[in-house]
Structure 1
């Protein structure tokens, strides 16, 4: 019997230690200014089941509100939209009994209170009117709110589509923020929480003049489908690290903005993961005064339209504490597992380490921020070691895509044929017990400088101006549609852009794209891409680029917001020494006219003839028509471009006639 007991105890210990591979202790600014311990010195736990019991247990300054208290929330508490104040209180811990503790329609207003901990509770204000926040941390005129830790909680709205995507919905601001921090509130840490499905998330500093020198740490939180204020930060210093930010995609458009640096703030933004967003870390010129941020180790994937555009701080701040940080590439899986309610089980549950130390992995090349010319071959090399075991495998990622797994050194992988863009490569090393560590490196691939080789439209096109799709050039315009250079459009020699309010100095005639359709241009190469567009109504649409005519990625330019009349647009992203494809999308309710185009070819486009060196072996052959479109079957008595790819990596092209 005793042996069975010891065996069960051993199993329990093993299972318990395997659940927590993370340290959930309080870190960051809440550990400063004397630290944050909440009601940990209380001699008993107060169980509450409804709003009245919760309010009574919290108490007031005159009624035991500073005596150490640990309050355990059981089940659901709903106060019908009426707030429960935590005013001039101290030494308080409120935690959820299990993963089902739920406070709904019950704002918690923390005013001039200190040493407060809130953990393991799910919150929402759905169904409540007015502009209340779920949790508001604020102050009276004389006393601060300080040393507050909010950990492993969940904040959300139950009507995400109405509140986030539809800006005109009555549900959008049914209630205000999920967590707001105002006035003289400081020494606050928000950690391991899950914020999702709401319009406004976290407001720090409630007006342009609320620039108090507050100190806040936001780490290891998961932010998903939030429109803005993620967070919006005014005043003081903030340390934002190891968070996961995922926006909202609806009808092909992203809606979410994240870290907004506003009046008087100085932020350190480190090792965060950003995806599906309009803006990552940013400021806006309309702000009354500038906010600043410095950053390192952040990952913005290809779906983020604008990454780190905040003003850089002239004197970046250094936190007065040290913390261990995860690599940004670890965060999607890590926070999906450990952020939010139900992970911890008690008020003093701080996780644990399982005794097995994580492996150590370092990327030895390339260096962070390295740049290459397209098409680029980039070899990533890494070292991996494990102090208390051995390395089982090392994985290589391009963004989130696993591309290679190696079971033994040397740990290297070559990413080949990279086109222009920014790439984040990650290396993840696993030990023999399944624990892992990862590191990432970001590199840039640039288009090489391309020499001008003349116009796409032949010798008749001016060297520095537009080729006009008018009656004079009708034969060229029609031929380009017939041979596949342009597809999805029509030519009309009489087409005009009519706009009485803003007279248009255009040219009669246009290639036009019908409403809610798109056209594709197949270019042999490109060193300059410029269009002269016209519409009788406002412009609406996007321009995309692709190297294969199939995978288009994010838009390189938007036509939205331009008023009716003429529009000249230049796209430097359309730059390539080899065939490249451009898609112009017209999402308006009328035709989009292309009156003129200035498209210059690069000097080494497929129309240039090279001599084949027969001393090398050809490993691949491709064929293109004279417009640069790759063809699979050759028709007799036609001229094509034959592209030979050799075993030494060189590429040569020559004209040929199929008989």
Structure 2
């Protein structure tokens, strides 16, 4: 028996693994690289995120903000590996010349070359959204973002799980789970919104569910500057509308599974053009058309399956594309892609879409596979120091820090900056919290290529993430986890900084040694 389309967005509609018999369609496009960036995010120079930069670990929102703010510049590449739950209780504002962050959201404002990826047991952003504005070359991967509100308490990001605006370019959002627990009346807004000249975005292998609004492209009928958005291999489940809402611009929508769309689906309006290929629409209403406006959009369709889809009658401000779903335009796609047969879309999306699925992708023939190399999840851990840095044998040569000056960002009661350059393991410096900076400085430039961070007895292993920074230029010379001997390309400088960005306990640096 067929299920009827429910009008209550509070009810959770389970995904059905419906696989109809059929022969795979011939593929006329070259296949994209397995596991790498896909869709329109490959255009305009491509999307690489933080590739080539430092990799840091964060378990709180504050540590994410610190990682952004401790970069040498707002464009210095960085990959932030997130594990655990990020919420209002562990997110605070941080100051820095390379960031403009806040305490109520994760704000990627006027930055570039950033990857935020969930690792380990997973990353959950609970009631706290990610806002991308005036930024470019951003990757978000393997994250769960849930219950972000614009009203009630707490509020974050205008109620959007992910929002983009103001000239954003090149964003790849991949293997995400974006969900709410109701609609606007309950305080929620969109799950994946773009406005004010946002271009070259891909949303892939993700789940959007249990919300009144999936996502929009353009905030009003006059905001038509947004374009070139790809949506593929996503699950849209138990949503009222906006999957997506397209105002102007071009979108490519393929190999998605739609289940329980209550009011309207892909809403192309105000001159929008949507290419809609090989999707599976199930137990849904008005899955394609122009709705809630007389300013109509267009679409090109092929290979889609309609399974218990109902259609309303055409009328003022209501122009459903069905039941025939005939094409009304043509759309040229500039990148290569492989189409799964629509009949297997429920199966392949169930295996691959969402966070904590191993970042599996389709091979283009209805089979799920783990990427052989994923650019956002390094196969090696961040740089680490020796197991017991407090007893590390120092490098050869003279320790240039002995007798030098020292300062820092803060110091705990009873500790001193000068303790890190006195040659004694019985004295130490600690920051006033669990993060901070300690520096060694000289009256004239010294050439340095190695430092040795030695933790005081009993505190070994407290330091988690760190950066070594050339104070003269702000350049990050090295980054990693732990402490001990750290090597880097030789620099000539009068001051070198050791910046602790996260710690599992109170850091106690007994000696900050420097060598040529």
Are 2:260 and 2:283, in contact at CA under 8 Å, matched by a contact in 1? yes
**Alignment pair present for 1:226 and 2:232:** no
Are 2:196 and 2:226, in contact at CA under 8 Å, matched by a contact in 1? no
Cα deviation for residue 101 of structure 1 reads: 0.9
Match of 1:56 among 66, 88, 111: 66
Match of 1:148 among 168, 171, 181: 171
Deviations 1:472-493 (A, max 9, x none): xxxxxxxxxxxxxxxxxxxxxx
Partner residue, 1:204: 217
TM-score, length basis structure 1: 0.44
Gaps of 5+ in 1: 1-21, 249-254, 359-427, 431-659
- Taking a change above 3 Å as real, the CA distance of residues 99 and 298 of structure 1, as seen in their structure-2 partners, is farther
Partner residue, 1:106: 128
Are 2:235 and 2:256, in contact at CA under 8 Å, matched by a contact in 1? yes
Cα separation, 2, equivalents of 1:121 and 1:86: 16
Cα separation, 1, equivalents of 2:43 and 2:298: 23
Are 1:344 and 1:351, in contact at CA under 8 Å, matched by a contact in 2? no
Partner of 1:85: helix, strand, or coil? strand
Partner of 1:149: helix, strand, or coil? strand
Partner residue, 1:133: 160
**Alignment pair present for 1:332 and 2:339:** no
Cα separation, 2, equivalents of 1:268 and 1:208: 20
- Taking a change above 3 Å as real, the CA distance of residues 57 and 227 of structure 1, as seen in their structure-2 partners, is same
Partner residue, 2:310: 304
1:538-553 to 2 correspondence within 5 Å?
none
Are 1:247 and 1:257, in contact at CA under 8 Å, matched by a contact in 2? no
Cα deviation for residue 32 of structure 1 reads: 0.6
1:157-196 to 2 correspondence within 5 Å?
157=180, 159=181, 163=182, 170-171=185-186, 174-196=187-209
1:118-517 to 2 correspondence within 5 Å?
118-126=140-148, 128-129=154-155, 131-139=158-166, 144-157=167-180, 159=181, 163=182, 170-171=185-186, 174-247=187-260, 255-284=262-291, 286-305=292-311, 308-309=321-322, 315-344=329-358
Partner residue, 1:72: 81
Partner of 1:269: helix, strand, or coil? strand
Cα deviation for residue 89 of structure 1 reads: 0.6
- Taking a change above 3 Å as real, the CA distance of residues 201 and 314 of structure 1, as seen in their structure-2 partners, is closer
Are 2:110 and 2:134, in contact at CA under 8 Å, matched by a contact in 1? yes
Partner residue, 2:47: 36
Cα deviation for residue 328 of structure 1 reads: 0.7
Aligned length: 309
Partner residue, 1:397: none
Are 2:301 and 2:327, in contact at CA under 8 Å, matched by a contact in 1? no
Are 2:236 and 2:243, in contact at CA under 8 Å, matched by a contact in 1? yes
Deviations 1:154-212 (A, max 9, x none): 0012x3xxx26xxxx842xx121111011111011100001111111111100110011
- Taking a change above 3 Å as real, the CA distance of residues 351 and 197 of structure 1, as seen in their structure-2 partners, is closer
Cα deviation for residue 99 of structure 1 reads: 5.0
Partner of 2:252: helix, strand, or coil? strand
Q: Which moved more, 1:49-58 or 1:119-128?
A: 119-128
Partner residue, 2:35: 24
Match of 2:138 among 99, 113, 116: 116
Partner of 2:293: helix, strand, or coil? coil
Partner residue, 1:9: none
Cα separation, 2, equivalents of 1:287 and 1:23: 40
Cα separation, 2, equivalents of 1:263 and 1:114: 26
Partner of 1:247: helix, strand, or coil? strand
Deviations 1:102-130 (A, max 9, x none): 01122211011111000000001356447
Cα separation, 1, equivalents of 2:285 and 2:328: 26
Cα separation, 1, equivalents of 2:185 and 2:361: 42
Cα separation, 1, equivalents of 2:299 and 2:61: 41
- Taking a change above 3 Å as real, the CA distance of residues 312 and 290 of structure 1, as seen in their structure-2 partners, is farther
Cα separation, 1, equivalents of 2:264 and 2:362: 35
TM-score, length basis structure 2: 0.56
Partner of 2:222: helix, strand, or coil? coil
Are 1:275 and 1:304, in contact at CA under 8 Å, matched by a contact in 2? no
Deviations 1:428-476 (A, max 9, x none): 9x9xxxxxxxxxxxxxxxxxxxxxxxxxxxxxxxxxxxxxxxxxxxxxx
Q: Which moved more, 1:147-156 or 1:118-127?
A: 118-127
Are 2:286 and 2:309, in contact at CA under 8 Å, matched by a contact in 1? no
Are 1:234 and 1:262, in contact at CA under 8 Å, matched by a contact in 2? yes
Partner of 2:287: helix, strand, or coil? strand
